[in-house]
Structure 1
């Protein structure tokens, strides 16, 4: 059976000229303690169910570029990219870079393929540790000593943990080529003590609008909400909120 076309709807803030609508309390988690300690133990698990993973891979297959540079931020030991992306990485047609909080997890992610030469691999390691809640400025990636710009970025069920999402998304936008896109995958699973406070106070529709607002205030445009999986009793819901650098 052919998969059904995804439902896509545009999003824009009701009053786009007003100041950022969330307070510091809204953006503070219940446990604002040291994130480095919280994420220190490796978690080699998936944070969405198998059905959501299959559908996210299908979404990525249809929407990530054929060539270029992709950033997977708030990444882990698996990025849920389809075989097409892995094949393109192996051929050198796509470079995937990653940021995250756990060294063991990032080192195991096969999509961050190193160079064949050990010295090149050390110089061009394609992932790095970064606590975006402490330092939201994502550095310009370098390959072969040269800065590169991004063609797409992804983030899977982690945007709700960022206490400075506008700063992070603005930094990524600055490093993205014109026409490049960001894809933020969202479900209803979370570590409740670590998501920002407002996330636990609103419903799913309002959470998607929150993320749309993050993107708007970070300067992204053509914001869309994509229903990837309609959740039910036996399966996780999954949405992607995406936008373009125009």
Structure 2
């Protein structure tokens, strides 16, 4: 049991408005070139993702904060897409149960079938999971229309720590917007981890703030509106940021000595509305 003098654990409440800011476009036209989206490993992505990787990609503290965020912003009824997904989407249990009961229709696009089959949001409705490489065909509508089905009209979409791998992000986000209802939202989750050989060149050359602005540019040039940047980095119960941009503790071990944490993965969301 914690003593009365023990520091508060990191906040999982992502609703504080002070942690949300408007994205402000700084560009009049798309300035990036295909070279910016090249990668050090240009071999077929099917080979890289051929074997399932049952890993989390972000640490447990970040997962807690992300799940809390999804619990607030993702509807429990309607249709949702998790793209560039894998074996876990980090949605809360309430949404998993809603998906099982078909109250919430969850669709998934990912690269590895065993991972998709294990995803608790998708495995009760296998026809809603699509194995596809969005770097080969960035048309989300086409991927969701396989088999001749009419693509679903989406209320929301998520992409967790994978936007840095897309070589045609604007095309992906534009086609996603086309199958999203008016007022629907997309949430692009960003941390500082990646497979560097598969991340686009430009991503590896930018600092955190430049990456957040870049993802805002993706949404802006894809036609999304009301673009915002949400800071989901660890905070104490008073809202004080606990880590720097790389996840290192700002106050050392004393701030969270009872957890003996020196690092907590940083986390942000760049989101837009149709």
**Is the shorter-chain TM-score for this pair beyond 0.5, marking a shared fold?**
yes
Q: 1:3 to 1:105 in 2, by over 3 A?
A: closer
Query: How far has the Cα of 1:177 moved from its partner?
Result: 0.2
CA contact (8 A) 2:173 2:219 kept: yes
Q: 1:56 to 1:3 in 2, by over 3 A?
A: closer
1:39 aligned partner: 49
CA contact (8 A) 1:11 1:224 kept: yes
1:198 aligned partner: 202
2:63 aligned partner: 53
Unaligned 5+ runs, structure 1: 116-120
Query: How far has the Cα of 1:146 moved from its partner?
Result: 4.8
* Secondary structure of residue in 1 paired with 2:37: coil
1:1-246 correspondence runs (5 A): 3=12, 5=16, 7-15=19-27, 17-18=28-29, 20-115=30-125, 125-139=127-141, 141=144, 145-230=149-234, 231=243, 232-233=247-248, 234-245=263-274
CA contact (8 A) 1:27 1:197 kept: yes
CA contact (8 A) 1:89 1:113 kept: no
CA contact (8 A) 2:141 2:151 kept: no
Query: How far has the Cα of 1:148 moved from its partner?
Result: 2.1
Query: How far has the Cα of 1:3 moved from its partner?
Result: 4.7
Query: How far has the Cα of 1:67 moved from its partner?
Result: 1.1
1:118 aligned partner: none
How big is each residue's C-alpha offset from its partner over 1:57-106, in whole Å with a ceiling of 9 and x where there is no partner? 00001101131000000000000000111121122210100000001101
RMSD: 1.8
How big is each residue's C-alpha offset from its partner over 1:2-38, in whole Å with a ceiling of 9 and x where there is no partner? 75526000002113x32x1211111111111111001
**TM-score, structure 2 normalization:** 0.81
* Secondary structure of residue in 1 paired with 2:52: coil
CA contact (8 A) 1:222 1:243 kept: yes
Decide which moves more: 164-173 or 29-38: 29-38
CA contact (8 A) 2:82 2:109 kept: yes
* Secondary structure of residue in 1 paired with 2:56: coil
* Secondary structure of residue in 2 paired with 1:65: coil
* Secondary structure of residue in 1 paired with 2:187: strand
* Distance in 2, Cα, partners of 1:97 & 1:50: 25
Q: 1:34 to 1:88 in 2, by over 3 A?
A: same
* Secondary structure of residue in 1 paired with 2:232: strand
CA contact (8 A) 1:12 1:213 kept: no
**TM-score, structure 1 normalization:** 0.90
Q: 1:26 to 1:205 in 2, by over 3 A?
A: same
